[in-house]
Every structure is written in C-alpha cells, then in structure tokens.
Structure 1
Amino acid sequence: MPIRSTVVVVTWRGHDHITACLDAVAAQTRPHRLLVIDNASDDGTAQLLATHPSAPEVIRLPRNLGYAGAMARALSEVDTEFMAWLNDDTAPAPSWLAELEDNLGDAAAASARLEHPGGRVQSLGVGLTADGHGRDVTSGPVFGFCGGAALIRTAALRAVGGVPASFFCYYEDTDTAWRLRLAGHTIVTVPTARVTHRHGASTGLGSVTFHRWNERNRLLTLLRCAPAVVAVRELARFAAITAALPLRRNVPDAPNFRPGLRCRVLGEVVRRLPATIAARKSITRRSTVRRGAVWAAWTSR
C-alpha cells in the first residue's frame, strides 16, 4: 500500500513524554512517513529521538518557533497527499491513521477523537462561539479540527495559505479551519480515530504565556477571518474590558483578567495590524464563501 500521509510531531522539551507518542505512531496499521520537528529542545529530547527504535526523520530547529511555526516549517517538507498533525503528548490507537484516511471522504480535514487518559472524550474538534472563541466540542458537527490530532489534505492546506507561523502557539488550528471553510471546504470528525492526550503536558494550561497567546491569537484570527463588524466589535470589547478592570471589584484571579497582560495583548495585535490586514485581503482573494455566511452557519449552533 502506498504511503499517503506524513505524520508530523512537533516537540519542545518532550523527553519525559514523547516516547509514548513515538511508540504509538510506530504501531500504526497504515504505512506512513514520520517527521518530528524539534523546537530546539534542551532537555535531552534530541538524544532520545536519535536512539528511538522507530528511527524518526528529525528536523531540529535552531530556536523554538512554537507549534504553529514548526508546523509551517514541516509543511515545506511534506510530499504526501495528507499531512497529519499530532501533539507529542498523545498516544494514538493503532488504527488512528487508517480511520482518518478511510473516513476523510471529500473533506479537506478530519479531526480525531482525543481522550483523557481515563477514556473520557476531550475533543472531537473545534466549535465556534458567538464571540469568536474556538472551543473543544464533544458531540455533533465540528467547525474545525483540533490540531492535537488531525488529518489535512496537503494541497488544500497550501492553497489557503498554509499554517499561520507567527501565531507561535494556539488558534493555528481554528484559523486554518476557518480559511478552509471560507474556501468552500468541509471538515469532519472521525470518532473512531482514537487518541489519548495528556492535555497541556508541554505548554502549561492556565499559565501567563498560555493566556497571552490564546487571547492574542483569538483576536488575530477574528481580524483575519471573521466578518469585519465582528472583528472590530470583539477587539473593541476586549479593549473596553481591559480599561474597566482597574475599576471593578471581584475580578477573577486569572492571568487573562490582569490589565498588564491584556495591554500586552493589545499592543501585539496593534503592531501586527498591517500584516494582519494584508493577510485578510489574501484570504478574501482565496475565498469562495462569504465571511458572513460562515459566521452565521457556525455561531448559531
């Protein structure tokens, strides 16, 4: 059987958890190419990769480009029909890749079933909220794929502009799925493609950097992909909440409610506005579906 998929695993300081992922990929029932992008790990990951029995193909980057940057780098190396995205803290079932390939159909991308170690479903894909947040969904149709374990048509991914490398981490999957939707593609979920996921093993969910990237990239995704009125509304809303926080009582004790972090997010978004507007124009040229139609279809669910 010919190899149709390149499985891309991005790692950063993955020494303590990537072995389970490599073992699981090696046990797949479907032939594949395995490409590991090492984000300049300094914890012995490089040595582990060099001695693992599966002998993965490795590209070691000179500096940490984040998940988005590493996936963008990997895309330039992919020569197969499909590109599979896989977190280094996952362990896919042996039939994971075969299930994705066999059930993709005419869609541009397929999201797998990510499970907590105990078996409870964590995500079947990404949904879109009325204020433009991407969120994990556990039932029904999905707006987008979860980048932790997904299969994407390589040609379709390149045609819509590839991976937003400058995001560094978070929302690169939602942004990519949104662009695929705007280009007229469909995205499916394949619940039989099961993957155990140690969520946040690499990045630290709830940390200051997590909230910074998450908030910034949500706003950038809206500015790139959403109807203009929505993007401007949500940016103004974020700024208004930031300005009001010092005057409020009982503010939640979470990093994304700290004025300093939010001001930093706003500064980064403003500095990126020229490039973001240029990207929006490019996305518009590639689109076959109106932004308003995609927004209405998925935020009304």
Structure 2
Amino acid sequence: MLTTVVVVTWRGAGHVAECLDALAAQDRPHRTLVVDNASTDGTAALLAAHPSAPEVLRLPRNTGYAGGIAAALPAVRTPYVAWLNDDAAPTPGWLAALEDAMAPGVAAVSSRLEYADGTAQSLGVRLTADGHGADLTDLTATAGGEPFGFCGGAALLRTDALREAGGVPARFFCYYEDTDTAWRLRLAGRRVVAAPGAVVRHRHGASTHPGSPRFHRWNERNRLLMLLRCAPGRVALRELARFAALTVVLPLRRGRPRAANFRPWLRCRVLAEVAALLPATLLARRAISRRRTVGRHALWRAWARG
C-alpha cells in the first residue's frame, strides 16, 4: 500500500458517498482517510455506515479544504498522499495512473478532472503573468509538457516532499493551497507532472459555489498571500499594489463589473486580512527561502505566461 487518499468533506451528504464508492472500486490498494469539517447535515452518520468503512478524522470546526489536508498530514504514514475533493469520483484506474507517473524527481502528479459531459476541467495549473493559478487543459502549450502545478481537487504527492516543503498552508482555508504548494515544491527543485489517464469526474464547486463573495474573498486573498510567500519580491509587491490601487478607484468607476471581486467592501476586507497575516506570511517566506534550491526569478521567468 503506497497511498493514503485524503478526502476533505463539509456538509457532503449529497455527494461524498459517490466519491467513496469510486475509491472502493480502485484497482490499487490504498488507505482512505476522510476529514469531516464539523458537518451538520448527516455526513458523519453516512460515513459511519458506508460499506468501505473509511477512517474518519472529525474536526471540531470547519477548517476548509486547506485546513483539512493539513490536519490529516500528521496521520499519513504512506510514501504518497492523495488529495481528493468530496465531490470528485475517480475512475477505477485513477490511483494506478497517478502512482505509475511518480517517477524519480517528481513530487506531485495532477489528474485529469472532467466535467459531467467529459470535457476537461483541468490537467494541472498554469502560472499567469499576473500571478494567478489557472486551470490548464492543453499540456502541449507548457514547458516540457508539464503543468506548473497540480489541481488540488485530485492529485498525488510524495509525503516526504510535501513535509519538507513546509506542508499545507492551513490558513488559506480554501483555494490556492495547491498552487502555493506547487511553488514551494518547484523552488525545492522538484517536478510536477500530469497523468492524463488518471481521470476524475468532478462536480465543480458543490461546496464552495464559485462566483460567490466567499469564493472571491478566498481566491483574491490567497493569491496575494501565495505571491508574498513564494514569488519574486518585485512581483508580489507589484500585484499587491495593483490590487490596492484598483480597490481605491473602483468606487469612482461607472459601469464596473458586477462580479463580487469588484465590490470595494470585499476588496477592502481582502486587504485587511492580508495585512493581518503579513507578519506570519513574511516569516513563511523566510523559511521557504532557506529551503529553496531554485531561484524565485528563474522560476518566474520559466513559467509565468500571459
């Protein structure tokens, strides 16, 4: 048994059973560990009654996806740890394809996440010129056919490499914990690859509702925190300044976009949270610098694209 599959759930009674059924059908042996983020919708009873008898780590409060993975990591004793969303249903050969792609020097393998109609949602993550992590669906457009990072909805990581890179940023709560982790793995000289044969059907956003104010708050905040932790200093400061400047001028604009991330109050909250977390973020940046073997600027030049 090489892999512990960690499934993080929160109020997942409507879909987590499908995920567990799919894991029970895998053709590679593995350990399943479900982190229940204090669900109140009957998820606990469903997990206890499921025929696959998964191990369950029930947390006293909702710590988000990042917090759930971080809470599970000390309990992982296998060489590999898989991250899997509770609204994802892997095909039977999913884990085998991921494990077989874990070549020497590779620290993380991303799956092929698909929508219900079979179209690709993600084969990994690309790094944009303004520091966003964006879903990648065409590996031929990347350096060496590799993604910059993995999509945390379904991926396999080397447990020791993840721990050596500093683990999972639990304070992110949700979103960008995967791209931040990929940054740190690559700064440590490790590779991230994709396994197109590791197919997962994904009900994207079943728990977090993409487009909601909470989604945009976490997304915008965590991108800035990731850049402050991992990116070249000039890039991190440039993007923070851009975000703050747009926040100031938005109230003066007519016809501004209706999306929640263009609401001045939400952007002000993001800036306040970034400021509150800045001391801890700068300490994390220093620790990342001590561990890295690859230059931040070299990594940025190699991977950031428009």
Same fold flag (TM > 0.5): yes
Number of the residue aligned with 2:108: 109
Q: CA RMSD in A?
A: 0.6
Equivalenced residues, count: 299
Counterpart amino acid of residue 11 in structure 1: T
Letter in 1 for 2:60: P
What's the TM-score once normalised by structure 2's chain length? 0.97
AA paired with 2:301?
A
Give the TM-score normalised by the residue count of structure 1: 0.99
Match for residue 55 of structure 2? 57
Alignment of 1:91 with 2:96, yes or no, is: no
Question: CA offsets, 1:269-289, max 9 Å, x none?
Answer: 011111000000000000000
CA contact under 8 A between 2:6 and 2:84: conserved in structure 1? yes
Identity of aligned pairs, percent? 68
Give the 3-state SS of the residue equivalent to 1:279 in structure 2.
Answer: helix
* Structure 1: distance between partners of 2:259 and 2:201: 28
- Amino acid corresponding to residue 80 of structure 1 in structure 2: T
Partner residue in 2 for 1:175: 180
Alpha-carbon deviation of 1:261?
Answer: 0.2
The alpha-carbon distance between structure 1 residues 300 and 252, as it changes in their structure 2 partners (threshold 3 A), is closer
Do residues 206 (structure 1) and 204 (structure 2) align?
A: no
CA distance in 1 between counterparts of 2:33 and 2:188 reads 28
1:250 Cα deviation from its structure 2 partner: 1.2
**How far, CA to CA, are the matches of 1:121 and 1:285 in structure 2?**
37
Offset, 1:246: 0.7
| Matched residue, 2:131 | 132
After superposition, the C-alpha distances for 1:180-211 in whole angstroms (9 at most, x for unaligned) are 00000000000000000000001111111000
Alignment of 1:121 with 2:126, yes or no, is no
1:30 aligns with 2:28: yes
Matches of 1:202 and 1:268 in 2, distance apart?
A: 23
1: distance between equivalents of 2:57 and 2:16? 15
For 2:35 and 2:190, locate their aligned partners in 1 and report how far apart those are by CA, in whole Å: 28
Amino acid at match of 2:215: F
Q: 2:254 aligns with which of 241, 249, 253?
A: 249
4+ long deviations beyond 3 Å: none
Match of 1:187, SS state, is strand
Structure 2 equivalent of residue 296 of structure 1:
301
CA deviation digits over 1:97-130, x for unaligned, max 9? Answer: 0000011212100000000011001000000000
Contact 2:127 2:305 in 1 (8 A): no
Per the alignment, residue 45 of structure 1 pairs with 43
1:77 to 70, 75, 78: 75
Instruction: Determine if the alignment matches structure 1 residue 232 to structure 2 residue 241.
Output: no
The answer as to 2:151 corresponding to 1:152 is: no
Gap regions ≥5 residues in structure 2: 140-145
Paired residue for 2:263?
258
Q: Which amino acid aligns with 2:136?
A: V
* Displacement of 1:300: 3.8
Tell me, in whole angstroms, the C-alpha distance in 2 between the residues paired with 1:293 and 1:75.
30
